[in-house]
Amino acid sequence: MTDQLINIKQQFPSHRDKRILLIEDNDINRMLLSDYLSYCRYEVQSLPEGSQFFSIIEKFQPNLILLDLKLPDIDGYSLLEKIQQRSDLQYIPIFIVSAFAFKTDQEKAMKLGARRYFVKPVNLTELILAIEEELACQCI
C-alpha cells in the first residue's frame, strides 16, 4: 500500500492548494479519511453532519466534496438536491462515499449530481486517483 501511495504522489502534481470538504458521521471513518487526505497533501475540512454544510462551504470554498449518504441530521440525497439548487455550488464535484451498495442508491445519487460513487470500505488508491483526475480537469 505504501508503494502505491508513493507512486500516486509521483504520478500527479501536488495539489497543496486544493481543498476537500469531507462530510462523514462515523468518527473513525472521518478521522481515517481526513488523515489520509492530509497525508496526500490536501487541505481537509471535515464535518460530522450536514447541518453546518452551508456555513462552512462559504468559508472553506472546497474544490471537491466527499459526502456520505447516511447522516444523522439530513440524508445525503437531500443535501445533494439542495446543492444542485444553488448555481454557485453546482460546479463543485461531489463524490459519494457510502455503505449503500445497491445500484438504485448509486443511480439516484448520480441523477442528483454526484460525479462518482464509492462503496465502503473504499479503496483508498482508487479514491485518490479519482480525486486527482477530477482536480486535474479543474486546472485546464
Task: Give tens-digit pLDDT for 20-63.
Answer: 999 999 999 999 999 999 999 999 999 999 999 999 999 999 99
- In this prediction, residue 138 carries a pLDDT of 74
CATH of domain 2-139: 3.40.50.2300
- In this prediction, residue 27 carries a pLDDT of 97
Q: Residue 123: is its pLDDT beyond 90?
A: yes
- In this prediction, residue 17 carries a pLDDT of 79
Provide φ and ψ at 66, rounded to 5°. -110, 120
Residue pointed to by grid coordinates 486546472? 139
Q: Residue 3: is its pLDDT beyond 70?
A: no
CA dist 133 and 19 (Å) reads 15
Those residues with Cβ within 8 angstroms of residue 33's Cβ, 6 or more apart along the chain or in another chain: 22, 24, 46, 66, 97
116 beta partners = 95
Helix (H) or strand (E) holding 35: helix 27-39
Those residues with Cβ within 8 angstroms of residue 59's Cβ, 6 or more apart along the chain or in another chain: none
Instruction: Please write the tens of the pLDDT for every residue from 51-110.
Output: 999 999 999 999 999 999 999 999 999 999 999 999 999 899 999 999 999 999 999 999
Strand 64-67: give its sheet, edge to edge. Answer: 43-47, 19-23, 64-67, 94-98, 116-119
